[in-house]
Structure 1
């Protein structure tokens, strides 16, 4: 017979961590201020002791990581035992302002104007915190709250599949070092390989609350954790039990709520740490049970999975025949990652289980789900077990589930089990409910014509030739039957990345990117022919459209109201191009007869340039600072040119001559212009003087598009010869040649478009086989092939955050691909 588990005392750090873990933001640290070993970093291996993260070693052995080594322990972890991480294993996403200033509370916490009188520090000596205002009520046995007076930033590692395997191979060595060499009392599953964090300034406060008086008197502070104060709160609650509250706060925290964080202050206070954890099977029965916190099941029928007076269990079998609620250790923290580890053992034959906060984030999708254990059972995620009998949740299932939930369901709020799918593969075609707030923002919002999730594939592997397909659901806007997107320039993404506008025939559809709902349709019978060009204003409030009509017309639309603000009339031939200047003050329009510049505020014509021959195309661009306009023109039957104009006066400032110019682009600084040519060459000119600076001859066929890197130091050229080449934009030295390998087995796939990610090292291209390919432009490493289009891809563009890619082409639809998902699946 198995013995009853020993009950551990409930300490504030365990109450705090066990309750705030429900938010799915990572492991909550009761002590966010750095330990002597340093603040948590990606690539750290460590453990949480008494609510503080202890760095044991750093596993990134690259030269740039030399300053991140842990030097506070003697002996240090043997360098010979550190298994090197490959290049880009810690590729990460940084999110500024990931958590806004405010309170982050566990379920059962409500706000109330209560004032606490601080007593002497519990468990030892130290300064007393005076006049702290504790404005929380706890309606459950326990609760926790985090108060941030400044925003928190986040870093999240994306190559999770590899890191989970890496942790499984090394966690026993890490555990032996922590226990044998350093003397820490930790279990193997307490060791964390750090993959991310949320960090803020010193103006935070952590609060642990409960009705159990014993909970506030059995506090094990540990070394260096002075300054905690127990506060008795006046008044009584519904159950007439005295509330105990323990609060810890940073040195910059203001009890009066005054904001003290300066923009230049260091954010080294880690409020949530994210990572990978590993657990060995104990060969005892592992049955996952429903849980609503660190130590107990839901106690009442309030939509959390159990009727009034009953505690919901995880299945017909109970833990060794005992009542789980009675015998669960009082101090046990049933955080979501621990529940995932138990689930893996329950449904598989794995001897070792690996789980991460990233997996939990995929499952929660920003929702606050109380009964995470039962949710995990009901969704029935598959467990992959490798040759070493290491089990982990199927990442393909998780990514698909997250995609469906983000697209089909509300992104935030408390979710009951009845609101969630029964299995990870259950299909729910309905879009998110349209709320009152949605209608206030977008009165025309509708599910009709909304974007949809469609089956696609991602090819992943060490190289393009060795890549294998993984099933994936991509978001598709428009359809090939009723909402054809028919022109190269008739798709535009708002500058903040939240809205997508596309011309479908003679109307413009506007979608909300986050969930695909159609928020606006710009029509009003203004256009009677197909639209050629659509573009957002820099502030995202307006859209300008150009039409190929008997009476050429350009309309400036208010996106919110759907009304026409200005009608720009005057062109004599079909208008093929329209765009706002970077500051939104001007609109440039182009037809075969003229280039016109308009005042965006009143629709008046500022300049009409009629001496540009558009026989060879009408591409027109504003420089990034808006001071110049570059327009492609014909010089003679033999030659083409790029004419540079002053946008304020319309005076010509330079003429850049070259035979058969195809496409052009401004450098981000606006000082240079690059163009690709039909003879396979590409040229770079000084935008002010027109002086030729560079000529590249890297291709054997037409250069269909050129693009500068975000820093202007590199130039990418995409060619019909099936390659993308990157060169130094100043010297012309070749850096990488990215060759498109056809997924259809053809000898060559013409590349039509190329784009740089604005915030990371990705470069993407679209080709005739309907695929979008992504590489790492700094290392030349292959990232992914996205397959879903049924015809040639015309254009690719990255979203402003630099991770997602939009593509569209001859199949007349726009597809949205996630670079984050590709890295998590690779």
Structure 2
């Protein structure tokens, strides 16, 4: 089975061609710097003790024109079709994930500093990039043209599109947050946060946005641009938070405890009790029925009922859990530990499915919306795209 799957990946690359319709949609599409196939190992079996090593192909995304350039930040389009990545040479590359072809290179066309943040519009028709040059630029990914330039007085550290695509939020090293009209570039509101902002996010309905700072998560009403609440949970280096897919709740893991809050009012709903201290990552399952957190003392990740706080499952790891990603269909959860191991588990039974060998240095793990592919971001090397569906077929 392993040879068949590897050959399928290789044949997909061998069939990679640029058609007239591709050129009509992506005038600058090219095989240069296309995602390249590389081999890795995955261990699969009915239990981890019985897991056997098999070969697994994956895509690597890098800038072949400048091999010394270091990958910095990335963004996935909402439909999972595009990957945008910034590099320390100031460039932004965009790939089509279905075949790894490079569809656009935004090399030194506008920014004069490194790009620190990226976000696609919901329809993938535009891309916003935040830079050290104190600006955010809105691009047309197809033509490569600059649509808007949004100014701050310091590095733009975070950018985010609202789900309806009409607004863009930016955060800067000057400790300000600005909300922009995504069509005209007009600044419709500006906030003085008084703190460094580490994360920006809109609610799924676009009616609120959230800003993480050192003293907690602030909730703002987008219609009135007024603060609704602050989740009174200090956010340290080992803290994290996420919004449920339904947009009704927020889970935080901070200073040993996991809490669930109303995403609308900021009211604390539930504080989860556990014999050991809990920490990041904190994540909701796609259906919002459970929350996951790390328990470093016994090298596990644990899930709880999000309504009652009752313990549901325990996933055993080789080291402390640092990253967690649920597949959008809710069938799998992939957990990464401090040692760089990635393990996939069945969310319904809690059973071990596979262990991926990555070489360590993981920075982030994210499923593509098709639930079949997993994007792995590293601290010091280019990101890779693995086909988790192929891994499940290997079993």
Q: TM-score range by the shorter chain?
A: over 0.9
Aligned length: 388
Question: Structure 2-normalised TM-score?
Answer: 0.93
Q: Secondary structure at the match of 2:13?
A: helix
Larger mean Cα displacement after TM superposition, 696-705 or 508-517: 696-705
How far does the alpha carbon of each residue in 1:34-58 deviate from its partner, in whole angstroms, 9 at most, with x for none?
A: xxxxxxxxxxxxxxxxxxxxxxxxx
Question: Structure 1-normalised TM-score?
Answer: 0.45
Does residue 643 in structure 1 map to residue 218 in structure 2?
yes
Does residue 623 in structure 1 map to residue 209 in structure 2?
no
Of 309, 314, 317, which residue of structure 2 is paired with 1:737?
314
Q: Give 1:499 deviation, angstroms.
A: 1.0
Does residue 694 in structure 1 map to residue 270 in structure 2?
yes
Does residue 584 in structure 1 map to residue 165 in structure 2?
yes
> Contact 1:664/1:673 (CA < 8 Å) preserved in 2?
yes
Give the structure 1 partner of residue 303 of structure 2: 726
- Give me the whole-angstrom Cα distance separating, in 2, the residues matched to 1:656 and 1:695: 13
Of 343, 357, 365, which residue of structure 2 is paired with 1:796?
365
Instruction: Give the greater-gyration-radius structure (CA).
Output: 1
Q: Secondary structure at the match of 1:658?
A: coil
Q: Give 1:525 deviation, angstroms.
A: 3.1
- Give me the whole-angstrom Cα distance separating, in 2, the residues matched to 1:562 and 1:471: 38
Within 5 Å, give how 1:16-165 maps onto structure 2: none
Structure 2: unaligned runs, 5 residues or longer: none
Q: Give 1:765 deviation, angstroms.
A: 2.1
- Give me the whole-angstrom Cα distance separating, in 2, the residues matched to 1:523 and 1:768: 34
Pair 820,769 (structure 1): closer, same or farther in 2 beyond 3 Å: same
Q: Give 1:479 deviation, angstroms.
A: 6.4
Does residue 717 in structure 1 map to residue 293 in structure 2?
yes
Give the structure 2 partner of residue 301 of structure 1: none
Q: Secondary structure at the match of 1:802?
A: coil
Pair 760,675 (structure 1): closer, same or farther in 2 beyond 3 Å: closer
How far does the alpha carbon of each residue in 1:762-813 deviate from its partner, in whole angstroms, 9 at most, with x for none?
A: 111223333332111111011111223x332121111112121111121331
> Contact 1:619/1:663 (CA < 8 Å) preserved in 2?
no
Within 5 Å, give how 1:721-800 maps onto structure 2: 722-741=299-318, 748=319, 750-788=320-358, 790-800=359-369
Q: Secondary structure at the match of 2:205?
A: coil
How far does the alpha carbon of each residue in 1:328-348 deviate from its partner, in whole angstroms, 9 at most, with x for none?
A: xxxxxxxxxxxxxxxxxxxxx
Q: Give 1:681 deviation, angstroms.
A: 1.5
Give the structure 2 partner of residue 538 of structure 1: 122
Does residue 680 in structure 1 map to residue 256 in structure 2?
yes
- Give me the whole-angstrom Cα distance separating, in 1, the residues matched to 2:324 and 2:182: 30
- Give me the whole-angstrom Cα distance separating, in 1, the residues matched to 2:342 and 2:75: 18
- Give me the whole-angstrom Cα distance separating, in 1, the residues matched to 2:97 and 2:5: 18
- Give me the whole-angstrom Cα distance separating, in 2, the residues matched to 1:774 and 1:671: 27
Give the structure 2 partner of residue 455 of structure 1: 39
Does residue 805 in structure 1 map to residue 385 in structure 2?
no
- Give me the whole-angstrom Cα distance separating, in 2, the residues matched to 1:562 and 1:451: 20
> Contact 2:213/2:235 (CA < 8 Å) preserved in 1?
no
Pair 531,718 (structure 1): closer, same or farther in 2 beyond 3 Å: farther
Q: Give 1:483 deviation, angstroms.
A: 4.3
Does residue 605 in structure 1 map to residue 182 in structure 2?
no
Higher RCO structure (Cα 8 Å, ≥6 apart): 2
Give the structure 2 partner of residue 146 of structure 1: none
The structure carrying a bigger helix percent of its residues is 1
Give the structure 1 partner of residue 387 of structure 2: 818
> Contact 1:681/1:699 (CA < 8 Å) preserved in 2?
no
- Give me the whole-angstrom Cα distance separating, in 2, the residues matched to 1:450 and 1:483: 16
Of 513, 528, 547, which residue of structure 1 is paired with 2:112?
528
Q: Give 1:631 deviation, angstroms.
A: 1.1
Pair 408,703 (structure 1): closer, same or farther in 2 beyond 3 Å: farther
- Give me the whole-angstrom Cα distance separating, in 2, the residues matched to 1:452 and 1:766: 24
- Give me the whole-angstrom Cα distance separating, in 2, the residues matched to 1:793 and 1:676: 20
Q: Give 1:641 deviation, angstroms.
A: 1.7
How far does the alpha carbon of each residue in 1:299-328 deviate from its partner, in whole angstroms, 9 at most, with x for none?
A: xxxxxxxxxxxxxxxxxxxxxxxxxxxxxx
> Contact 1:708/1:714 (CA < 8 Å) preserved in 2?
yes
Give the structure 2 partner of residue 399 of structure 1: 5
Q: Give 1:697 deviation, angstroms.
A: 4.6
- Give me the whole-angstrom Cα distance separating, in 2, the residues matched to 1:784 and 1:767: 14
Within 5 Å, give how 1:376-391 maps onto structure 2: none
Q: Give 1:702 deviation, angstroms.
A: 6.6
Pair 751,645 (structure 1): closer, same or farther in 2 beyond 3 Å: same
Pair 822,643 (structure 1): closer, same or farther in 2 beyond 3 Å: same
